[in-house]
Structure 1
Amino acid sequence: MESKAHILVFPFPAQGHINPILQFSKRLASKGLKITLITTTSISHSLHLQTPAGGAALQFESISDGLDGGDHSDNIHTHLDRFIATVSQNLAQLAVKLRPNAVVYDAIMPWCLDVARGLGLRAAAFFTQMCGVSMVYYHQYEGNLKVDGENCRFSMPAMPVMEIGDLPSLIPDGHLYPAFLRLMVDQFSNFREADWRLLNTFDKLEEEVLNWMASQWPIKTVGPTVPSMYLDKQLEDDKDYGVNLFQPSAEVCMKWLDTKEKASVVYASFGSLATVGESQMEELAWGLKNSDKNFLWIVRASEESKLPRNFISETSEKGLVVNWCPQLQVLSHHAVGCFMTHCGWNSTLEALSLGVPMVAMPVWTDQTTNAKYIVDVWHTGVRVKVNERGIITREETELRIKEVMEGERGNELRRNAVRWKELAKEAVRKGGSSDKNIEEFVAELVCT
Structure 2
Amino acid sequence: MHKYFNTQKSNKIKTMNNHIAIFAFPFGSHGTPLLNTTRQLASLAPQNKVHFSFISTPNTITSLFPSGSKTDADYPNIKAYEIWDGKPEGYVFSGNHLDEIDLFLKHAARPGALTKVLEEAEDNIGVKVSCVMGDAFLWFLCDLAKEVGVPWVSCWVSGEHSLSVHVYTDVLRERFGIQGVEAREDETLDFIPGLSKIRVKDIPDGIATGNLDSTFAQMLHKMSQALPNASAVCISSCEELDPVVTNDLKSKFSKTFSIGPLNLVIAPQKIADNYNCLGWLDKQKPNSVVYVSFGSAATPTPNELFALAQALQASGVKFLWSIKDHLKVHFPNDFLEKSRENGMVVSWVPQIEVLAHDAIGVFITHFGYNSVTESIAAEVPMIGRPFFGDHKLNGRLVEAVWEVGLQVEGETFTKEGILKSLDRILSSDEGKKMRANIKSLKHLVGKAVAPDGSSNKNFRLLLEHITKT
Query: TM-score band (shorter)?
Result: 0.7 to 0.9
Percentage of matched positions with identical amino acids: 26
The answer on 1:67 being equivalent to 2:87 is yes
| Aligned pairs for 1:301-380 within 5 A | 301-380=325-404
Match of 1:232 in 2: none
- 2 CA distance for matches of 1:131 and 1:329? 26
- 1 CA distance for matches of 2:331 and 2:21? 44
Q: What stretches of structure 1 of length at least 5 have no aligned partner?
A: 229-234
Q: CA deviation at 1:182?
A: 1.7
Contact 2:207 2:221 in 1 (8 A): no
CA shift digits 1:233-271 (9 cap, x unpaired): xx7xx332x8xxxx9754432222222222221111112
Question: Which shifted more, 392-401 or 29-38?
Answer: 29-38
Match of 2:199 in 1: 163
Contact 1:64 1:90 in 2 (8 A): no
The answer on 1:55 being equivalent to 2:55 is no
| Aligned pairs for 1:84-163 within 5 A | 84-85=109-110, 88-97=114-123, 98=125, 99-142=128-171, 146-147=175-176, 152-155=186-189, 156-158=191-193, 159-163=195-199
Relative to structure 1, the CA distance from residue 310 to residue 21 in structure 2 (aligned partners, 3 Å threshold; closer, same or farther) is: same
| Match of residue 304, structure 2, among 264, 277, 280 | 280
| Match of residue 38, structure 1, among 34, 55, 74 | 55
The alignment partner of 1:16 has SS state of coil
Match of 1:24 in 2: 37
Match of 2:417 in 1: 396
Contact 1:42 1:67 in 2 (8 A): no
Question: Which shifted more, 92-101 or 434-443?
Answer: 92-101
The alignment partner of 1:226 has SS state of helix
Contact 1:338 1:356 in 2 (8 A): yes
Give the structure-1-normalised TM-score.
0.86
Match of 2:291 in 1: 267
The answer on 1:179 being equivalent to 2:215 is yes
Q: CA deviation at 1:59?
A: 3.8
Q: CA deviation at 1:151?
A: 7.2
Match of 2:18 in 1: 5
Letter of the structure 2 residue corresponding to residue 125 of structure 1? S
Relative to structure 1, the CA distance from residue 239 to residue 127 in structure 2 (aligned partners, 3 Å threshold; closer, same or farther) is: closer
The answer on 1:223 being equivalent to 2:257 is no
Match of 2:233 in 1: 197
- 2 CA distance for matches of 1:171 and 1:365? 11
- 1 CA distance for matches of 2:63 and 2:464? 36
Q: CA deviation at 1:317?
A: 0.8
Give the structure-2-normalised TM-score.
0.83
CA shift digits 1:25-56 (9 cap, x unpaired): 22212211543333311334455747989533
- 1 CA distance for matches of 2:292 and 2:174? 34
Contact 2:361 2:426 in 1 (8 A): yes
Q: What stretches of structure 2 of length at least 5 have no aligned partner?
A: 1-15
Match of 2:457 in 1: 436
Higher relative contact order (CA 8 A, sep 6+): 1
The answer on 1:384 being equivalent to 2:408 is yes
Q: CA deviation at 1:210?
A: 1.1
- 2 CA distance for matches of 1:364 and 1:194? 27
Question: Which shifted more, 214-223 or 161-170?
Answer: 161-170
Rg comparison, structure with higher value: 2
Contact 1:339 1:351 in 2 (8 A): yes
Contact 1:249 1:322 in 2 (8 A): no
Q: CA deviation at 1:67?
A: 2.9
Contact 1:29 1:54 in 2 (8 A): no
- 1 CA distance for matches of 2:207 and 2:384? 20
- 2 CA distance for matches of 1:83 and 1:365? 22
Letter of the structure 2 residue corresponding to residue 215 of structure 1? S
Contact 1:357 1:381 in 2 (8 A): yes
The alignment partner of 1:321 has SS state of strand
The alignment partner of 1:146 has SS state of helix
Relative to structure 1, the CA distance from residue 14 to residue 418 in structure 2 (aligned partners, 3 Å threshold; closer, same or farther) is: farther
